[in-house]
């Protein structure tokens, strides 16, 4: 049996240890970086429409209708007096309770759009449940106004990627606000 002995000079040994340590540090860094890069590439945050850049100085006025309707005739009168139209995001249950107000809003030239059927926190729903909320409200609005909604405002302003993607798949734009009362 032959025994080989390696004799390294002190400087060669230190150099070898430093190179080995750098290789290990680089491997650890790369291993930790890869999941971050993959997560960043796959988790793009979807956003609703908050505002639209225009050259004209204009504003879009919108209202959410989910509870009472006592102010609806006054709102319609004020908007008409000033030759202004608005978008009303209505909940399906509100449509059930106040069909005459929905018709009056539409007949006055305002948009009547979707705010869900029962005003749930949409990110807590499955895509199928979201679709049901939107379909039910769309049908109620279309039955009264003759127009199918294409816009959706999430209740509580609460949205997620799943909400945006589900609504986009239903040909609805998700609308938020950029100035609140």
Q: How many CB atoms lie within 10 A of CB 66?
A: 15
> Cβ–Cβ contacts within 10 Å for residue 161, how many?
13
Q: How far apart are CA 39 and CA 41, in angstroms?
A: 5
pTM: predicted TM-score of the whole model, two decimal places: 0.74
Q: Which residue has the tokens 């069909």?
A: 99
Convert the pLDDT of each residue in 120-167 to its tens digit. Answer: 999 999 999 999 999 999 999 999 999 999 999 999 999 999 999 999
The two three-digit tokens of residue 130, written as one number? 């979201």
User: Each residue's pLDDT tens digit in the chain (181 positions)?
Assistant: 565 555 555 555 565 555 655 555 555 555 655 554 444 455 788 877 666 677 888 888 999 998 899 999 999 999 999 999 999 999 999 999 999 999 999 999 999 999 999 999 999 999 999 999 999 999 999 999 999 999 999 999 999 999 999 999 999 999 988 777 7
Contact 92, 118 (CB under 8 A): yes
**Cβ-count burial of 25 within 10 angstroms (0-12 exposed, 13-18 middle, 19+ buried)?**
exposed
What are the DSSP E strand ranges found in 3-140?
62-65, 87-90, 111-114
Gap between the terminal Cα atoms of the chain:
91
What's the pLDDT at 17? 55
């Amino acid at each position: 049996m032959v025994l080989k002995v390696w004799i390294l000079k002190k400087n060669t040994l230190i150099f070898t240890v430093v190179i080995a340590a750098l290789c290990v540090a680089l491997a650890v860094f790369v291993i930790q970086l890869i999941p971050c890069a993959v997560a960043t590439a796959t988790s793009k945050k979807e956003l609703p429409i908050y505002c639209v850049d225009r050259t004209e100085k204009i504003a879009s006025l919108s209202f959410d209708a989910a509870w009472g309707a006592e102010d609806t005739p006054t709102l319609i009168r004020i908007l008409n007096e000033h030759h202004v139209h608005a978008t009303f995001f209505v909940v399906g249950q509100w449509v059930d309770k106040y069909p005459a107000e929905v018709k009056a809003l539409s007949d006055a030239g305002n948009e009547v759009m979707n705010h869900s059927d029962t005003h749930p926190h949409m990110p807590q729903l499955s895509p199928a449940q979201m679709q049901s909320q939107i379909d039910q409200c769309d049908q109620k609005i279309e039955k009264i106004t003759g127009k199918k909604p294409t816009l959706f405002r999430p209740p509580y302003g609460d949205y997620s990627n799943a909400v945006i993607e589900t609504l986009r798949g239903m040909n609805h734009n998700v609308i938020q606000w950029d100035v609140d009362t």
